[in-house]
Amino acid sequence: MCGIAGLALEPGAQPPSATVVGALSHALAHRGPDGGGNSTVGRTALLQTRLAIIDLKTGDQPLYAGAATLVANGEVYNYRELSPGLTLATGSDCEPPLHLWRQQGTAYAERLRGMYAIAIHDRATHSLTLTRDRFGIKPLYTASVPGGIAFASEPQALLASGLVKRGVRTAARDELLQIQFTTGADTIFPGIQRVLPGETVRVVDGHVVDRTRLAALPDGPPEEIGEDAALARLDAALEESVDLHQRSDVPYGMFLSGGVDSATVLALMARLNTEPVRAYTAGFDVPGAADERAQAANLARAVNAHHESIEVTEAMVWAELPRIVAAMDDPAADYAIIPSWFLAKRARQDVKVVLSGEGGDELFGGYGRYRSAMRPWWRGGRGMRTRGTFDKLGVLRSSLPGWRDGIAAAESSATAGGRSRLQVAQATDMADWLPHDLLLKLDRCLMAHGVEGRTPFLDSGVAAASFRLPDALKVQGGRGKWLLRRWLEKNFPEARPFAPKQGFTVPIGTWIAGQGTRLGPLVAAQPGVAEIADPDRVTALFRNATGRHESFAAWSLLFYALWHRAHIEALPIQGDVFSVLAA
């Protein structure tokens, strides 16, 4: 896990400036506290800041082979299986991809299994190859700059270097306000694009000449397979994936809730490890708040795991929230960033790698919105994300036409190949919600603390074993993740997979309601908010943020106010939320 960046400029351009390269490296230093390196050859510069996980002694980057140079962020888990027949100079998991690229060109990514963003420069052909993993676990961004192309692990590095001017793309802002994340290749920053999940981009002489893309999900409608055969296949796929995701030369642990997904990861880690698993759980100090710490503690005891419980208090949140939001440069207003931040902060005292359960709901049909999407309209079914956060509140200065266009485009693309309604809903979430909210949250909150997050559900083997399952093995009796629950019932009954779900929510609404009179005027006065919302209505919203709809809208405006200060106004983030907003 690292940060990478660089430039590829066209003929006649001046070589990349050492000042710009230094600014990019400085902006990504939090992603790689263990060191860094760079290479400038002609008109192309590559740099990396390193978080050392595998091959601590000889794994520094850039890596070189012939005329090719590589920098990478992430982990290629099957590097041992790729190594036979290759002449390697290091034990790095990222060296086999470099040799595969030399042999196979852009097709090299087809053999990689892991989470990664890779940049390879070939000085013989003046080409740059940029590749992102199929699920979009690791981030990668590009920008057209004077004389060529720049890239980085985070948009804020491109902004901090002066390569891209700060600004807000209206369509993405409207998406963020209405659905808490943004969709597609274009980010909220004009001129900065995402390399899409599974995409390989080829740049020659500073210009994009080719794009190819590998799919994360297998093609085809639901297959015919019985439950017993599906369980056996699933067990093999899950065990193999968790085993691969545990490859590390540094200590590792996991994030544990009381839910199905993390219980599955815990059970497999306990199966595969001789030492107790380290597990970390977050909870809140609000009476009556949904809290899974007790159930998580029971699961940990059942497998003799070393369990740490972290209580997140209101005071902690107000003190840290400006820095939490600032870490979300590609914004996702998901309040789960709060526990993720504090879990990473605590876990870093013991480990540098954590496994988590992201992807389980998407692959196994866990969300309630999937069950609704499966039903035709005349039976009460409805499409996903058809209602926006600010609908009918009258807070914004104008309506937000087109805010659902990105979701609609993803839904249209997801219908290919005879997929069922359930598969279309899953694939739609896999296209945007997963990489641009859940995985982005995991990446930024953990990397801010020098921790690598790994997601064993998001593996090609697990996807092959799960996505084309019959709908009835995903959703049955009004429950999602049916087959995963059956697997737990058989392999880890202490998880009580068919018990009523307690749920897990962050009590941000309660906290905002308690401070609404104080927060409302501060948020309303922020330039980013004043541009889009009526100040009196914002103040009233915070003063009366007791309902679920109103409190989430208030949270979204608070997030946007802090984000805008950090990344558009470029103001210092010092002090707690009240002092930052009042400055």
Judged by DSSP in three states, 217 sits in: coil
pLDDT (tens digit per residue) in 46-78: 999 999 999 999 999 999 999 999 999 999 999
CA distance 96 to 334: 36
Helix ranges (H only) for 438-573 are: 439-447, 460-466, 482-491, 508-524, 527-530, 535-543, 548-567
Given CA atoms 225, 231, 235, 236 in this order, what sign does their dihedral have? negative
Q: What angle do CA 142, 143, 147 make, to 5 degrees?
A: 125
What sign results for the dihedral spanned by CA atoms 386, 389, 393, 396?
negative
Mean pLDDT of 154-158: 98
CA–CA separation, 88 and 22 (whole Å): 30
CATH architecture classification, 227-495: 3-Layer(aba) Sandwich (3.40)
Identify whether 222 is preceded by a cis peptide bond (ω within 30 of 0): no
- Mean pLDDT of the region 566-570: 98
CA distances from 261 to 46, 143, 423, 431 (A): 38, 36, 19, 20
More confident residue, 497 or 285: 497
- Check: CB of residue 303 under 8 Å from CB of residue 272: no
Q: Domain coordinates of the chain in residue numbers? A: 2-213, 227-495, 508-582
Mean pLDDT calculated for residue range 497-521: 89
- The single-letter DSSP state of residue 181 is S
Residue 292: the pLDDT is 87
DSSP state of 476: B
Q: Is the pLDDT of residue 380 over 80?
A: no
pLDDT at 285: 87
Check whether 82 has a pLDDT greater than 70: yes
pLDDT at 287: 79
Give per-residue pLDDT as tens, 114-148. 999 999 999 999 999 999 999 999 999 999 999 99
- Of 446, 359, 416, give the one whose Cα is nearest residue 33: 446
pLDDT tens, residue by residue, 419-444: 999 999 999 999 999 999 999 999 99
Q: What is the identity of the amino acid at 413?
A: S
Q: What's the rounded Cα separation, in Å, for the pair 184 and 194? A: 8
Architecture of domain 2-213: 4-Layer Sandwich (3.60)
Helix 548-567 with 314-327: angle, nearest 10 deg: 50
First to last CA, the chain: 35
